[in-house]
Amino acid sequence: MVNLVQGDLDKLQRNVMGALIVIDVHAKGVVEDMIKSRVDSVNDFDWSKQLRYYWEKEGEEDDAFAR
């Protein structure tokens, strides 16, 4: 990623790479925090707080899902 950002990118490409780097750094911090908290189960709060919730239409009903 560093090599790409240091190269010749147009404005959109540079913005996308910046966003991807921020997401990557955030994910690294999340994993480090879970290791420090000794997360070892899907039932641990530090794991479950990373879940994302989605509304999805299945058939004629809307359902909420956690992933």
pLDDT of residue 60: 80
The model's pTM: 0.64
What's the domain range around 29? Answer: 2-66
CB-neighbour burial class of residue 29 (10 A; exposed 0-12, middle 13-18, buried 19+): exposed
* Structural tokens at position 56: 């999805």
What's the domain count of the chain?
1
pLDDT tens digits, 10-64: 999 999 999 999 999 999 999 999 999 999 998 999 988 888 888 888 778 888 8
The answer to whether 55 touches 63, Cβ cutoff 8 Å, is yes
Q: Is the pLDDT of residue 66 over 80?
A: no
* Structural tokens at position 11: 């404005």
